[in-house]
Amino acid sequence: MTESELVKAMTRQEGGYFITKTRLARFIGAKRPETVSRYVDGLVVLNNRYYFIPDVVQRMLADTKK
């Protein structure tokens, strides 16, 4: 999946451009939200729980290329 396809799929599911750790974990099929911490640590957080989907996707793709 390309970055734009992943952003589009996530925003379609969420109905907007922000996602929580719990919803991100559910999206990738993880059982616990703690497993996605590596994707969101250090990103800007809104209201202590919402992350900007394009930032999360960039981090996810960068992590998979390592």
CA dist 66 and 51 (Å) reads: 22
Q: What is the reported pLDDT for 1?
A: 84
Residues 55-64 have pLDDT tens digits of 999 999 998 8
pTM above 0.85, yes or no: yes
CB 19 within 8 A of CB 51: yes
For residue 43, the one-letter residue type is: L
Residues 3-28 have pLDDT tens digits of 999 999 999 999 999 999 999 999 99
Q: What is the reported pLDDT for 66?
A: 67
- Could you give the maximum distance between any two Cα atoms of the chain, in Å? 31
H or E stretch at 3? helix 3-14
Q: What is the reported pLDDT for 30?
A: 95
